[in-house]
Amino acid sequence: MGELNRADLGGATGSESGPGPYLSAPVGHPPDPGSGWVGIAANAASGRGRGRVAVARLVRELERLGLEPRVAWTLDERKAMVALASSRKAGRCRCLVAAGGDGTVAALINERPDVPIAVMPAGTENLFARHFGFGRHPARAASRIARGRAEPLDLGVIDGRRFALMAGFGFDADVVSRHHAARVGRTGQLRTTHRAAYVEPVLRSTFGYRFPPLTVTAEGGDGRRETLTGTTAFVFNLPRYALGLPFAPSAVGDDGWLDLVVFRDPGAFRALHYLWLVVRGLHLDRPGIEHRRVRRVAIEAAATVPIQLDGDPGGAIEPGGPARIIEVLPGAVGVVVPDARLGREVG
């Protein structure tokens, strides 16, 4: 198993822009099996600490298939690995694997890799992995990495930070911010988490969040703009939220669009009512809930409103400050997929 250090870089830097990733094989075509190296961006704290065990098993399976795995455990190592993959100085990188939860995937895509990504899920929700059919079985994951093909995935972006799943503004982001704060230990390191850890943040947000109004300006493909108002808003790239809830069932990851969902009315009891409608799949047909297909969204607020991106804190909208702009980046990253098409969920 290869270990990464700064000497591996050879002065190379990763790609910062461009229309889309360089894929290790043409889009829609599988690479030749048994060649190239595979980078693994690992998070030892994911899924109650299961990360190291999952990575060790994946490494063994990749080696069995004749591939060379290289593992990065730290932020510096991950940055070096992405730059090395982009430089091609260490030979062809087949793909980069996010070994962890949705936060690990988000961290990897924000390194702007120009080789495809795959996932070895070891987190709590694993929404990205579930959408694309990545399971926890190391042998199956290794086989998919060796024999799968790369397809483009759109991303959303806000203030230069990319997201693959969704951006949230308001109540849910307040829950995410409280949960994240509770995870940070005295050393500044994140503790492992689980679904039950969200109970206290949900209760605190229920009684503490004030639901300040949002002004949301949606822009479609024809450049026309529409202004909506609400107290909680989401911008989805992929259809599901935590617990697999289908907030944006029509969202497709490779169509060049984002799905905007705005909930109008304030209050914790109204939020619970909206949640019940989402569970039943009835929310998009009800008054007080707006759904639009967009390419660009601008959001302003009358008071401080928190933001979450792919389940992690993403800053805040400040009153009197500039609108926060969310845009779609078509085909911004490649994903290793089996025969099923990328943008539709793999059963």
Provide the CATH number for the domain around residue 103: 3.40.50.10330
Is 137's pLDDT higher than 50?
yes
The answer on 304 and 180 residing in a single domain is yes
In this structure, is residue 101 part of a structural domain?
A: yes
The predicted pLDDT at position 88 comes to 77
Position 177 confidence tier, pLDDT thresholds 50, 70, 90? confident
In this structure, is residue 62 part of a structural domain?
A: yes
Provide the residue range defining the domain that includes 121: 2-147
What pTM was estimated for this model as a whole?
A: 0.83
The answer on 199 and 140 residing in a single domain is no
In this structure, is residue 344 part of a structural domain?
A: no
The answer on 292 and 237 residing in a single domain is yes
Type of residue found at 182: A
The predicted pLDDT at position 199 comes to 63
The answer on 12 and 123 residing in a single domain is yes
Give the containing element (helix H, strand E) for 102: helix 102-109
In this structure, is residue 153 part of a structural domain?
A: no
The answer on 31 and 74 residing in a single domain is yes
Tell me which of 90, 117, 147 is where a domain ends.
147
In this structure, is residue 338 part of a structural domain?
A: no
Determine the average pLDDT of the residues in 22-42: 62
Q: How many domains does the chain have?
A: 2
The answer on 39 and 135 residing in a single domain is yes
Type of residue found at 55: V
Is 17's pLDDT higher than 50?
no
Selection from 270, 261, 280 nearest residue 206 by Cα: 270
The predicted pLDDT at position 309 comes to 97
Distance, in Å, from the CA atom of 171 to the CA atom of 175, rounded to the nearest integer, reads 7
321-331 burial: b if 16+ Cβ within 10 Å, else e: eeebebbbbeb
- Give the least confident one: 41-45, 140-144, 264-268: 41-45
The answer on 194 and 321 residing in a single domain is yes
The neighbour count for residue 151, using CB atoms within 10 Å, is 21
Distance, in Å, from the CA atom of 15 to the CA atom of 84, rounded to the nearest integer, reads 11
The predicted pLDDT at position 195 comes to 58
The predicted pLDDT at position 192 comes to 66
In this structure, is residue 339 part of a structural domain?
A: no
Position 257 confidence tier, pLDDT thresholds 50, 70, 90? very high
Determine the average pLDDT of the residues in 252-272: 94
Give the containing element (helix H, strand E) for 87: helix 75-87
In this structure, is residue 77 part of a structural domain?
A: yes
The answer on 165 and 143 residing in a single domain is no
The neighbour count for residue 68, using CB atoms within 10 Å, is 18
Is 182's pLDDT higher than 60?
yes
The DSSP-derived string for 186-211 is TTSPBPP--GGGGHHHHHHHHHH---
What lies within 8 Å, CB to CB, of 55 at 6+ separation is 40, 42, 71, 99, 120
The answer on 166 and 121 residing in a single domain is no
Determine the average pLDDT of the residues in 33-48: 77
Tell me which of 147, 181, 202 is where a domain ends.
147
Determine the average pLDDT of the residues in 161-185: 86
The answer on 271 and 308 residing in a single domain is yes
Angle between helices 138-147 and 51-64 (to 10 degrees): 50
Position 223 confidence tier, pLDDT thresholds 50, 70, 90? confident
The predicted pLDDT at position 188 comes to 59
CATH number at residue 199: 2.60.200.40
In this structure, is residue 249 part of a structural domain?
A: yes
Is 20's pLDDT higher than 60?
no
The predicted pLDDT at position 43 comes to 84
Return the percentage of the chain with pLDDT > 90, whole number: 65
Q: Write 48-56 long-range contacts (CB < 8 A, 24+).
A: 48/192, 48/193, 48/194, 49/192, 50/122, 51/99, 51/100, 51/122, 54/99, 54/120, 54/122, 54/136, 54/138, 55/99, 55/120
The answer on 109 and 22 residing in a single domain is yes
Is 36's pLDDT higher than 50?
yes
Determine the average pLDDT of the residues in 221-244: 92
Tell me which of 91, 115, 147 is where a domain ends.
147
Position 189 confidence tier, pLDDT thresholds 50, 70, 90? low
CA contacts within 13 A on the Cβ side of 34: 3
Selection from 69, 57, 61 nearest residue 1 by Cα: 69
- Unique residue bearing structure tokens 């290793």: 336
Determine the average pLDDT of the residues in 216-245: 93
Backbone angles phi, psi at 230, to 5 degrees: -175, -170
Selection from 79, 95, 209 nearest residue 142 by Cα: 95
Distances (CA, A) of 301 to 183, 271, 289, 305, 307: 28, 18, 18, 7, 12
The answer on 178 and 308 residing in a single domain is yes
Distance, in Å, from the CA atom of 104 to the CA atom of 97, rounded to the nearest integer, reads 10
Burial class (CB in 10 A: 0-12, 13-18, 19+), 29: exposed
pLDDT in tens, 269-321: 898 899 899 989 999 989 999 999 999 999 999 999 999 999 999 999 999 99
